[in-house]
Every structure is written in C-alpha cells, then in structure tokens.
Amino acid sequence: MGQMIAGKWITDAALGSVTTKGDWERTPSVVRNWIGGKDTSFPSTAGRYHLYAAWNCPWAHRVLLVRAVLGLEDVISVSMVAPKRTDQGWVFDLSKGYTDDIGNASALHQVYSWGDAIYTGRITVPLLVDKNSRRLVSNESADLVRMLPQAFKAEARAQIDLYPTALSAEIDTWNDVIHRKLNNGVYRAGFAETQAAYNAAVGDVFETLDMLELHLMDRHYILGDELTETDLRLFLTLARFDVAYHTAFKCSRSRLIDYQNLWLYARRIYALPGVVETVKFGIYRRGYFSVSDKRNPLEIISVPPDISWEI
C-alpha cells in the first residue's frame, strides 16, 4: 500500500509484512485521536469531519456500515478513493467519479501529509479528517466504529446502541475472536507464503465459521436479538467470502451459502436500511483478482457465483 517516512511518500508494493515463517502480519494503525476525548480540539460537531474510504477495503467498510445503519450520512461527509492502488498508493480518479471533495488531492498520501507534515506510517483507509484544521483524527477502523456512534448519538437518525454497556465485555470478546481468526484470518490465508502458514490460517477461518453457525442456531444476531458493532464487523467478511475469499484467498473448504444459519444471518444484515448501498460485489471480485505476481499473475478474474442476497 506504500508508506510515508517523515512526510515523504515511499513506494512500497508489499501489503503488510511476512515473517521468516511465511506468516502474513498486519501493520497497526498509528493515527488514533478521539472525537470528544481528552484532546478538546476534536469536539463532537456535526458536519465537521470527513471520511476517506474505499469500496473494496473491508476495514473502511466497517465505518461505512456504522455511518449507514445509524443514518449519519448528513453528519459525516465522505470521499471514496478509486478501488485500486497504483505506485502512489490509494488514488482518486476524477474520470470515474472518485474525487477528494475537500482538498482536491490526487492521491491519499497528500491528505495524510496535509494533516501531518511529518507523518510516518502506512497510507490506509478509513481515514477521518477534521475539515476545519485538516488534522488527521483516526485511521483505525475499530476506534471509528466505537467513536462515531458515541460522538454523534444525538444526530443519528436511527437510535441503535451498537455497544450497550451491559454487553460490552461480550462484544469485546467476540470482536477479538472474529478479527483474529476470520476478518484477518482470510488475509493470513490469502497471503501465506508457506503451506504451514496457510494451513494454520485457513484452519482458524473455518473453525470460526463453524462455531458461528452453531451459535446462530437460535438467535438473530451474535449477541441476541439486537444488532451490535460485532455484527457489522463480521458482516464485511461474510459479504466478501463467496465472491472473493473462497477462491482468490483459497478459503475453499466451504462457501458462505453452505452454512444455513450464517447465510440467513448475513442476508438479514444485508436487508437493513442503508447496508445494500455499502456493498459492491463486482468491485470485490475485480479487486481480489487484480494482478499479483504471486496470487494472480495473469489477472484472470473468476466468474461470480450465481447467488441472490435477497431474503
């Protein structure tokens, strides 16, 4: 995805890093300010913040889902980068409608450098920016999923508590398992460079899917009858599973549609107001089958599965 060192863009084609054991590891986010937190320069002011996202990025999808489900579209503006990366990392593409609506940047690394002249780190989405100062607020999706509902509860059209206090410990536990073994597990499988690393990753993926299938036998959502942030964090992987991870990332033991309870659960979330507008199956398919020297050198895009997400 590329990176910046002391505010300067450094070309880097590697996605994350690979250890000597062949295990793929995700580099942590470094911009982690908080709206309404100790830094009073980031107040909870509707219309003040701008989100940068990409349709094909699952971590950005987390935040787009929260924004859509709570009805915060008029509170937090958004610019989408093009669903591709170049030697400049994430870029905008005016010819296809992907524009920076607040700074007219041509590449996302420019937004980072405007917000922090000595920024060092990866150039990733999601990224939340303060439109008043152009300061970077956060590029950590987990923080944004938790932060935005709290900061803009009064402005949300849908009053859904995605992190109820009574369920906070359970939510945190589920989030950890789902992120490590499934959200990130599919990437560990897809980018593994040894058979042992792949076996371990794909084992985690299907162990988690099997567990969730049993867990959802007698409940609508992960924590019961009410939607929580855990469901949104899980959904983004389910939405990409059959169209991309099952084939492109070799998570091929089973498909999502082979799981009766999980398949119904995923479609239940897909049917929630605003969610369908955040899901782009065609972009997922093209993105995960984009050219890769190791995974897809000829850039052959697979035929999409013939399934319907309608309940």
Active-site residue, selected from the candidate residues 187, 198, 245, 259:
187
- Is residue 119 within 8 A of residue 4, CB to CB? The reply is yes
Q: What is the rounded radius of gyration, in angstroms, for the C-alpha atoms of the chain?
A: 19
For 189, residues 6+ apart whose C-beta sits below 8 A from its C-beta are 198, 201, 202, 205, 245, 249, 250, 251
DSSP codes, 255-297: -GGG-HHHHHHHHHHHTSTTTGGG--HHHHHHHHTS-BTTTBT
**CA distance linking residue 239 with residue 226, whole number of Å:** 20
251 part of the active site: no
187 part of the active site: yes
- Is residue 163 within 8 A of residue 178, CB to CB? The reply is no
**CA distance linking residue 79 with residue 92, whole number of Å:** 9
End-to-end CA distance of the chain: 37
Sign of CA dihedral 304, 239, 206, 83: positive
Q: How many CA atoms lie within 13 A of 309 on its CB side?
A: 22
**CA distance linking residue 183 with residue 57, whole number of Å:** 12
250: left (phi over 0), alpha (psi -120 to 50) or beta: left
Active-site residue, selected from the candidate residues 49, 52, 57, 265:
57
Least Cα distance to 190 among 125, 258, 246 occurs for 246
Q: Which two tokens stand for residue 3?
A: 């990176």
Give residue for tokens 């084939």.
Answer: 247
Catalytic center residues: 57, 187
